[in-house]
Amino acid sequence: MATNPSAETRDCWVVTPGHAGMENQAIALAEAVGLPFVVKRVHPRPPWTWLPPGWWPRPLAALGHDSDPIAPPWPDLLISCGRRAVPYARWVKRHSGGATTTVHIQNPQSRLSAFDLVAPPRHDHLRGANVVETEASLHRITPERLAAAAADFAPQLAHLPRPLVVVLIGGSNSCYELTAVAVSALAEQLRSLCLELGVGLAVTPSRRTGADNVETLRRALEGLPAVIWDFQEPNPYFGFLGLADALIVTSDSVNMVTEACATGKPVHVLHLAGGNRKFNEFHASMRQAGYTRPFQGVLEDWRYQPADDVAKIAARVHDLLAVKEKRPA
């Protein structure tokens, strides 16, 4: 029979398929809860992955050789994110005798009551006694982290004029297409901001942006007060967010838009071709909340109080852990 360890010995697992966008959300919550945590990446194989996540027989047998072990001693808290992490969260909860508190970020696409808490974004439209909606995705942005990163990277951008406009560029995915035409148009708009308004630019492309598109940006911004990240470490992402006076973000990433909006600074969204219901609802809700405005080649100035979804979910997790701590062993 599982027992409830003392608060001093509590620990946490973060279980994800290893995708950065999912893993960062789960780590953000683990950091906010404050328990020591380990990240466990699971890489299940077919035919299990062809089944809905709640129907997997013997999920441990599905683990590939490059997966982290899912074995006792069981953690006090397990935070999962991603459909393929769901069977392992359910497995641990069952085999811990319910002693492990399980929290799933996003829609688990399985029975909600299998978890102690489910934290989906509002556009998933999930309802339940154990469901707490978030405005957007969870993130690791804090004022302290931004300030520290800004101090680290300030010397690299000290030669750029103010205001400093940070440009976060994603790329094509299953919903959006970043075309050469769109990149050329963006490059010309950025040139105009430099030449007409005298702004400085700090551009961070992603791996999805594509080498040709990055080269288009480099050619267009050559000789102007602009820095484009060259994918060499250290990653300047947090530093650029901390130093920005305003941001331009492509629409293809919920995480990227959410993290930009965590700064409280003006976030202009460049809408790419494509989208779907969830993305459209997300962007509409962010505009209605006053966080973002469409980017149409000009900069606007506004302020807002960022939502703190991470703190809200972390508070609920602490409540759940406190209830379990009070239960007799």
Which of helix, strand or coil describes residue 132? coil
What pLDDT does 220 receive?
97
Scanning the structure block, which residue is given the tokens 């299998």?
Answer: 114
Whether residue 168 contacts residue 314, with contact meaning beta carbons closer than 8 Å, is answered with no
Compute mean pLDDT per 10 residues along the chain, 329 residues long, and list them. 46 96 95 97 95 91 95 97 96 96 96 96 92 92 95 96 97 96 97 97 96 97 96 94 98 95 97 95 95 96 92 96 76
What pLDDT does 245 receive?
98
C-alpha angle with apex 248: 284 to 168, nearest 5 degrees?
105
Rg of the chain on CA atoms, in Å: 21
Quote the tokens at residue 285. Answer: 């809700």
Rounded to an integer, what distance in angstroms lies between the CA atom of residue 68 and that of residue 9? 22
- Label residues 220-259 b or e (16+ Cβ within 10 Å = b): bbeeebbbbbeeeeeebbbbbbbbbebbbbbbbbbbbbbb
What pLDDT does 152 receive?
96
Global pTM value = 0.87
C-alpha angle with apex 19: 184 to 265, nearest 5 degrees?
55
Rounded to an integer, what distance in angstroms lies between the CA atom of residue 48 and that of residue 58? 9
Domains, the chain, with CATH or none: 7-135+309-326 (3.40.50.2300), 143-294 (3.40.50.2000)
